[in-house]
Amino acid sequence: MDPTETPNPSTKPAPRLAGRRILLGVGGGIAAYKSCDLSSRLVKEQAHVTAVLTKGARRFVTPFAFEALTGNACLTRNFQRLDGQRTPYPHIDPATDADLVVLAPATANLIARLAAGMADELLPTLMLSVRCPVLVCPAMNVQMWQHPATQRNVKTLEGFGHRLCGPGSGDLACGMTGEGRMIEPAEIVEQIVALLPKTQTIPFPGSGSKKGRMRRAPRPKKRKPGSAGESAEGGKSKGKR
Ligand SMILES: Cc1cc2nc3c(=O)[nH]c(=O)nc-3n(C[C@H](O)[C@H](O)[C@H](O)COP(=O)(O)O)c2cc1C
């Protein structure tokens, strides 16, 4: 920019997540209210946000809040059927479609369930199919955070390749002070922007539409032993999932 030019205050910064499909997993902690702000900030960056709430999360925040903020259906149950859903696999499709998963707040219980590979409700079930980057934002009491079981579980998630974002230190909702605060939504957005490669962005034209969706990299074809380049999988079979 010409240094003599005065900046136009009405110029908005370009959205940094246009067309990116983000799955926002919300656990049952007091910081769940902050994930409403997070979803709103992601939408402002033009991400396509689908919130998945655990049963615990629904004690603190409602699906309706996320639907209103994101413009998309909020997922809560394994057996949920949605209008325009492409297959009856709500426990798999949102995970395989996502460009990034952010778990905020990631409670001690949610972290433990993921570390154990449990599939006892929708969010942990989806997490077993996720192959995109995962950002885990823990939020809990300092003693829960420091417990060896939680520390072991967090290390297990890091072993899966998930990225940890926080927790921060400071005053906690329970009245104690120490590590356990969820990182602020604005900072989580920065981490998401940094994690997603910039090159694959294709604007998402509207919720529910499949047109203009980011093209996924083709899955590597399985080769039959001895065959040169032949796919062992026929057509679009889901039988091996
Ligand atoms: C008022 C209140 C606040 C809570 N806050 C947290 C929290 O910040 N972090 C946490 O790990 N658990 C917290 N818990 C406990 C969780 O709600 C509980 O472990 C729940 O089973 C977690 O569900 P989830 O696996 O769906 O996240 C809180 C419980 C109550 C009653």
> Which pair of tokens denotes residue 165?
């974002």
Q: How far is the CA of 82 from the centre of ligand 1 (A)?
A: 28
H helical segments located in 147-208 = 148-159, 185-195
Strand bridging mode 168-171 / 177-181 = antiparallel
In a domain, 118, yes or no: yes
Active site (annotated) includes residue 132: no
Q: Which residue has the higher pLDDT, 65 or 90?
A: 65
Burial class (CB in 10 A: 0-12, 13-18, 19+), 187: middle
Nearest to 103 by CA among 177, 38, 179, 170: 38
In a domain, 225, yes or no: no
Where are the strands (E) in 55-207, listed by range? 100-106, 134-138, 163-164, 168-171, 177-181
In a domain, 15, yes or no: no
Nearest atom of ligand 1 to the alpha carbon of 31: 8
Residue 208 has pLDDT above 50, yes or no: no
> Which range among 36-40, 121-125, 227-231 shows the weakest confidence by mean pLDDT?
227-231
pLDDT of residue 166: 95
In a domain, 7, yes or no: no
Binned at pLDDT 50, 70 and 90, residue 213 comes out as very low
In a domain, 215, yes or no: no
pLDDT of residue 89: 78
pLDDT of residue 1: 52
Count of H-run helices and E-run strands, the chain: 8, 7
Name 10's Cβ contacts closer than 8 Å, sequence gap at least 6: none
- Burial code (b: 16+ CB inside 10 Å, e: under 16) for 22-34 equals bbbbbbbbbbbeb
Binned at pLDDT 50, 70 and 90, residue 219 comes out as very low
- DSSP-derived 3-state class of residue 64: helix
Q: With contact defined as beta carbons under 8 Å apart, do 161 and 134 qualify?
A: yes
> Which range among 18-22, 60-64, 234-238 shows the weakest confidence by mean pLDDT?
234-238
Does the pTM of the predicted model rise above 0.95? no
- What's the distance, CA 130 to chain centroid? 10
pLDDT of residue 95: 86
CATH number at residue 158: 3.40.50.1950
Q: With contact defined as beta carbons under 8 Å apart, do 172 and 139 qualify?
A: no
- How many structural domains is the chain composed of? 1
pLDDT of residue 198: 65
Name the phi and psi angles at 132, rounded to 5.
-90, 175
Catalytic residue among 36, 74, 132, 174: 174
Question: Ligand 1 atom 9: the closest Cα is on which residue?
Answer: 140
Ligand 1 pocket, CB under 6 A: 27-31, 54-57, 107-110, 139-140, 144
What is the domain extent for residue 138? 21-200
> Which pair of tokens denotes residue 84?
């325009």
In a domain, 47, yes or no: yes
Residue 98 has pLDDT above 80, yes or no: yes
pLDDT of residue 238: 37
**Pocket perturbation via mutation, ligand 1, pick of 24, 30, 141 by most ligand atoms within 8 A of CB:** 30
In a domain, 94, yes or no: yes
> Which range among 22-31, 32-41, 75-84, 100-109 shows the weakest confidence by mean pLDDT?
75-84
In a domain, 211, yes or no: no
